Amino acid sequence: MRDNSEGESCGIREEFRFSPRPNRAADIAWMNWGEAAFARAAAEGKPVLLSISAVWCHWCHVMDETTYSDPAVIEQVNRLYVPVRVDSDRNPDINRRYNQGGWPTTAFLDHHGNLLAGATYIPPETMRTALQRIAELYRDHEVDVGAPEQALSASSSPGLELSLEMVEETGAALLRAWDRAYGGLGREPKFPQVEALALALDLYSDEGNGEYLVFAGSTLESMIRGNLLDKVEGGFFRYSTTRDWSIPHYEKMLADNAMLIPVLLRAYAMTGSEVFRRTASETAAYIYRTLSDGEARFFGSQDADEEYYLLPAGGREGASPPPVDRTVYTDLAARAASSFLAAGAALENDAYIALALAALEYLWSRAFLAGVGMAHYLDSEGRGRRHGFLGDLTETASAFLAAYGYTGDGTWMERARTLLELAVKRNWSEERSAFMDVAPGSEPSGLTPLPAELPAQSRAAHAMLSLWAYGDDGGWRELAGKALEAVAPAAPAYGFQAAPFALATNLYLRGPLILRLSGPEKTVPASMLRTAALSAKSRTMLKMEPRTGTMEGKVTAELCARESCLLRVSSPEELKDALGIHPRVDIGHGSPRDAFGGEGERGATEGGRKR
């Protein structure tokens, strides 16, 4: 599992983070992942106990407070094992290779890093037995298994030629999994599946199948009216343990909430349902208040605390809110910045746009290392940690391109190009015709790079297609096609979770649409920008033109394919009609306005206010 050919003396150096409630988990002599831990395991003839935890994870906290606070467990671990503690969010490569299906992950490894056994949460009495039994087996039989990498590595089979049928098959898988009674996909547990919602809106917009709009709209409504949405403070919880969205797991994640904002705004544009616009506003306001510093940093998550979130609004006023992980994760912060650009324009909130641009400048100044790429996260002192991950390069490049679209400042496009060139140089494998999840030789974890999984491969392709769409002909479309073709054989097995692949393939085949806005002295009224930000198609990209407007000095909006322009208008009303915003149509399942409840119930206090 571990690659000892490079960086043997290296290792991860980070502080350990335990449950915020009383516990004795720190009494275990945890080590960081790295060569020192495995060398000690080899020298002492002991197995490694690997704990993969997350600061937002309820059951991780429970395991700290119970199992890892049990005196007998503490004694056994310190005597029989080399204990290694890993933060999942900060070390996605280790999590990918060893996660046992959830958090916490409890894995038992040999001194090579091969997996011997694994589970998720283990209660104290079971843990005591397991610790003794596995240690005895390891001592008496020197258990050694093959690297699980063999099973994890992507297939090197030839790719498939891309077709719109692949996009439609992912859409069909989505409709097959649709829970028509309660909204969402599958039964329980239920996650928002934001990219599947985005794909459904695209397929409705491109193909006119009303089922996709009803799926997306009814699912969003169910999430909002159920308990997945915090109706006191705003923001969505991570998932529901029940089919009807009634009992959530109470952690709030930056990624989910940020990605839901543009989906909600597009749903509002396509249906006219005020509940979607209002929820987008409240979700952005929650992130602004709680998961950002309001200046330049977005934070990773807010912890789960069932007792707190079950309190009514008045009861929360005197209670301590769940702690926030104030770590800045590059890929998540970049994604949030992209969403805040859209939210700021659509909701006419300049503070959101200012935060988004400042956050991207902060990432460039603190996380970027010339010739290497983006750090995965910034520590408490603002120092970049863990370089080489594909997602940090491609998500940040996508956000920089969004900033270019909203500002017209070519610096953002140049930075995006720099990051994607590094992704190709350091993470692309010609042998595999695929991007690797980490750049070879750059990681202190010592893990062998693996082909990136389908979602990450697809998002990388999407970023390259966006750069190509803005006029850079540096072979980006060709390379994006290779990346998508490489993962195409795996897409059917992913079902609706192949949505990132379908979104990128749809962009690749149908092509981007560029919405060019220009006006006298480079100014565009907020009403025109708001309308542009509400475009119904995700493959419509905004571009502020650095030229003086035409049509007698009026503001103009041109919707263009890459080679030719399809229309030119000069008012928000004309643009709204051209983009299909707020259509009054019957989609075969009732009017969108009727299906999605018009005004609906009010949630939290109206968000989106300027600060």
- Structural domain ending residue among the three candidates 128, 152, 176: 152
The answer to whether residue 522 scores a pLDDT higher than 60 is: no
Q: For residue 514, report the phi and psi dihedrals to the nearest 5 degrees.
A: -105, 125
Alpha carbons 239 and 32: distance in angstroms, whole number: 30
Out of 96, 126, 152, pick the residue that ends a domain: 152
| Contact between residue 152 and residue 451 where contact means Cβ atoms under 8 Å apart | no
348 within a domain of the structure (yes/no): yes
Beta strand pairing call for 301-302 and 324-325: antiparallel
In a domain, 575, yes or no: no
Q: Is residue 50 part of a domain?
A: yes
- Give dist(CA 258, CA 337) in Å, integer: 8
Rounded to whole angstroms, the Cα distance separating 150 from 148 reads 5
Per-residue CA distances from 602 to 160, 228, 607 (Å): 48, 15, 12
In a domain, 195, yes or no: no
The arithmetic mean of pLDDT across residues 441-449, rounded, is 79
What's the confidence (pLDDT) of residue 325?
Answer: 97
In a domain, 390, yes or no: yes
* Rounded Cα–Cα distance for residues 281 and 157 (Å): 45
What's the total number of domains in the chain?
2
CB contact at 8 A, 344 and 356: yes
Q: Buried b vs exposed e over 57-78: b needs ≥16 C-beta within 10 Å?
A: bbbbbbbbbbbbbbeebbebbe
Decide which of 130, 152, 174 is a domain's last residue. Answer: 152
Against a cut of 0.75, is the pTM above it? Answer: yes
Which of 60-64, 230-234, 309-313 bottoms out in mean pLDDT, i.e. has the lowest? 309-313
In a domain, 445, yes or no: no
CA atoms within 13 A on the CB side of 344: 22
Q: Is residue 120 part of a domain?
A: yes
Question: Tens digit of pLDDT for each residue in 84-122?
Answer: 999 999 999 999 999 999 999 999 999 999 999 999 999
Q: Phi/psi of residue 33, each to 5°?
A: -65, 130
Beta strand segments in 32-81, E: 48-53
pLDDT tier at 445 (50, 70, 90 boundaries)? confident
Cα separation, 126 vs 149, in Å, equals 28
Mean pLDDT check: name the lowest of 86-100, 433-447, 463-477, 478-492.
433-447
**Band of residue 443 on the pLDDT scale cut at 50, 70, 90:** low
A 10 A CB-CB count for 611 gives 11
Q: In DSSP terms, which residues pair with 83 in a beta bridge?
A: 49
Q: Is the dihedral of CA 487, 490, 495, 497 positive or negative?
A: negative
Top pLDDT among 7 and 441 is at 441
Range(s) of the domain holding residue 30? 25-152
Convert the pLDDT of each residue in 383-432 to its tens digit. 999 999 999 999 999 999 999 999 999 999 999 999 999 999 999 999 99
Percent of the chain with pLDDT over 70: 88
Band (564; pLDDT cuts 50, 70, 90): confident
Sign of CA dihedral 537, 540, 541, 542: negative
Q: Which two tokens stand for residue 71?
A: 């005196």
pLDDT of residue 15: 86
* 321-341 pLDDT, tens digit each: 999 999 999 999 999 999 999
Residue at 563: amino acid letter: E
Distance CA 416, CA 395 (A): 10
Residue type at 555 in one-letter notation? V
Amino acid at 511: G
**Nearest CA to 169 among 587, 507, 490, 538?**
490
Q: How far apart (Å, rounded) are the C-alpha atoms in residues 110 and 185?
A: 39
pLDDT attached to residue 380: 85
- Mean pLDDT over 445-461 rounds to 94
Tokens of 166: 């692949």
CA 262 to each of CA 174, 512, 514: distance values in angstroms, whole numbers, following the listed order: 20, 18, 17
Residue 55 lies in a domain: yes
Q: Within 10 Å of residue 387's Cβ, how many Cβ atoms?
A: 22
Confidence of residue 60 (pLDDT cuts 50, 70, 90): very high
